[in-house]
Chain A
Amino acid sequence: MRNALPVLTVLIAILAIWYVAVAPMNIRVALDQAQRGGAVLQPETALERQEVSVWSLMLRNPAQITQTYAMERPRLPTPVQVATELWSTTGEMALNGRAMSKRSLIYHGWITLQSTLWGFALGTALGILGAVAIVYSRVVNMSLMPWAIISQTVPIVALAPMIIVVSSQLGIQDRSVPKAIISAYLCYFPVLVGMVKGLRSPAHAQLDLLKTYNASGFQAFLKLRLPASVPYLFTSLKVGIAAALVGTIVGELPTGAISGLGARILIGDQFGTPLAIWAALVAAAVLAGVLVTLLDLAQRITLRRMGMQS
């Protein structure tokens, strides 16, 4: 609860900036519409208005500013418009028993969530296995690590279509498979880096101590390195799940997919319905927030059960 005040302050600041930005963002379109409705404007034609800054348009046509906050297809919708759209595609539909309708963001969010979780599981497994190999093998450390870093410098938007083409070439019809692979591709890296750091975190004296017990390498891994890496693992998982969600959404963009939050964003763009885009964006942000919060909770519980102060 101590965090509530700063969080609320930031939220109010963002909403304030958002509201202020709506008028200049929408004024041109609003004036064009008003002109069609027969209003007299300064300057009169759309061509002339192109030469004038939005600030001066607002000053010269103050009567039209209210219009910018109530447009059907705004460049920048107001927070209330976004919230209304979000509610009408989620909560309201759920109340009407149509939560899994193709127009519901709950349905699309569920599609995205499934691929995200598969990608997260795959990426986490690969990240942990890779980290173990890197920590225990000098050769792997020198060969795998540079490639892992290079892999993250390739833009995922360039790679995603290739993964989709290859997987369909291999006869995989299920769209969720390439999506999960793209998701895992983004997710494994933070887990790998975090786990390498975590597995290497025990001090030299700690390893010396185990040597004085004549402990085997496997015992050292099980009793020292693995538990020592748990706090690092959770930190990485929180970054990883957000990356997995981004990966899934990016994977939904070029696939011609018709379901998933990414597909909603793409369709909203193609059909010129900015409110749908914004609602899908907010839904994605809420989903990411929920996932990270759940992991944070799992971290607290795990560390407390391990007796470590978190």
Chain B
Amino acid sequence: MTTQPAISAPVISAKGLDLTFQTGDGPVHALRDVSLDIGKGDFVSFIGPSGCGKTTFLRVMADLEQPTAGQITVNGTSPEAARKARAYGYVFQAAGLYPWRTIGGNIRLPLEIMGYDRADQDARVARVLDLVELGGFEKKYPWQLSGGMQQRASIARALAFDADILLMDEPFGALDEIVRDHLNEQLLKLWDRTDKTICFVTHSIPEAVYLSTKIVVMSPRPGRITDVIDSPLPRARPLEIRDTPEFLEIAHRVREGLRAGHAYDD
């Protein structure tokens, strides 16, 4: 599958987004004048230091935070309408599986809430478990799985109800480098097979460059976008691509963008 990025209406579109938290120490500008269009099938990474607003931006898309100014649409509607239409799956930093449910039971959770019938639930659980290569672990409890497998199960849970958008907030942040490489490869395969639009928050430059079709570099105080890089890398990406000059060049540009953001602060 090598579909071209669609020229049609963006899946997510933000214009002049502001978000200010009122705290005891005065207002915190989590987002300032953030504008971005995300097309269908894009894999967009948000990278930047702590406090740059990357997670906040993701939460605004998910209707978990309300912007104080500006417009944002998800699938052409408000984030709230998109949430109620179950337009996206959200993967949190911690897998957050229920310890009293099996892996299958955890993936079933959104399906039960959304009222899928039992047979449909079973079919979907089996399908997404295969998708994240956890076939055979349906009856296991979370504590019987490694951290990487738990995170894969949480991704399966987000995939189970076939939302077109996947919002991922540092899903591999707590995992070691080797597991992370493996999951990155799997995630790319999954994206390639399902043609979902993925928004992915990360701290890691190689991860962002390896995964993305579009890299959004952000910087803190106030949280804002400093650079948007459209990756020239092909869709099919073996892990070795990380040693090519093209890859290193993009990584260099991301690093420069992050450094520029920091200089502003110091």
Chain A 291-310 interface 0/1 with B at a Cβ cutoff of 8 Å (1 = within): 00000000000000011110
A206 at interface by CB-CB < 8 Å: yes
A-B contacts, 28 of them at CB < 8 A, read: A203-B94, A205-B92, A205-B93, A206-B96, A208-B64, A208-B90, A209-B92, A209-B96, A210-B113, A211-B63, A211-B64, A212-B62, A212-B64, A212-B88, A212-B89, A213-B110, A214-B86, A214-B113, A214-B114, A223-B109, A224-B98, A227-B100, A228-B100, A230-B100, A306-B100, A307-B102, A307-B141, A308-B141
Interface of B (DSSP majority class): loop
**Please, which residues of chain A bring their CB within 8 A of the CB of B143?**
309
Asked whether A213 lies within 8 Å of B64 as measured between CB atoms, the reply is no
Bound-state CA distance A19–B108 (Å) is 62
**A-binding residues in B (CB < 8 A):** 62-64, 83-84, 86, 88-90, 92-94, 96, 98-102, 109-110, 112-114, 141, 143
**Please, which residues of chain B bring their CB within 8 A of the CB of A309?**
143
A215 at interface by CB-CB < 8 Å: yes
Query: Out of B63, B88, B94, which one reaches A205, CB within 8 Å?
Result: B94
**B-binding residues in A (CB < 8 A):** 203, 205-206, 208-215, 219, 223-224, 227-228, 230, 306-309
Q: Residue on A with the closest CB to B161? A: A213
Asked whether B83 lies within 8 Å of A214 as measured between CB atoms, the reply is yes
Query: Out of A212, A219, A228, A307, which one reaches B83, CB within 8 Å?
Result: A212
Asked whether A211 lies within 8 Å of B83 as measured between CB atoms, the reply is yes
**Please, which residues of chain A bring their CB within 8 A of the CB of B141?**
307-308
Query: Out of A205, A219, A230, which one reaches B96, CB within 8 Å?
Result: A205
Bound-state CA distance A206–B157 (Å) is 13
**Please, which residues of chain B bring their CB within 8 A of the CB of A223?**
109, 112-113
Q: Residue on A with the closest CB to B142? A: A307
Asked whether A227 lies within 8 Å of B62 as measured between CB atoms, the reply is no
Task: Output the least CB separation between A224 and chain B (Å).
Answer: 7
Contact A213/B86 with A219-B113, A307-B141, A309-B143 known, Cβ cut-off 8 Å: yes
Task: Output the least CB separation between B170 and chain A (Å).
Answer: 12
Contact A308/B84 with A205-B92, A210-B113, A213-B114 known, Cβ cut-off 8 Å: no
Bound-state CA distance A216–B92 (Å) is 20
Task: Output the least CB separation between B162 and chain A (Å).
Answer: 13
Asked whether B100 lies within 8 Å of A212 as measured between CB atoms, the reply is no
Bound-state CA distance A308–B110 (Å) is 21
Query: Out of A209, A219, A307, which one reaches B99, CB within 8 Å?
Result: A307
**Please, which residues of chain B bring their CB within 8 A of the CB of A307?**
99-102, 141
Q: Which 3 A-B pairs have the closest CB atoms?
A: A306-B100, A307-B141, A212-B90
Bound-state CA distance A308–B98 (Å) is 10
Asked whether B88 lies within 8 Å of A308 as measured between CB atoms, the reply is no
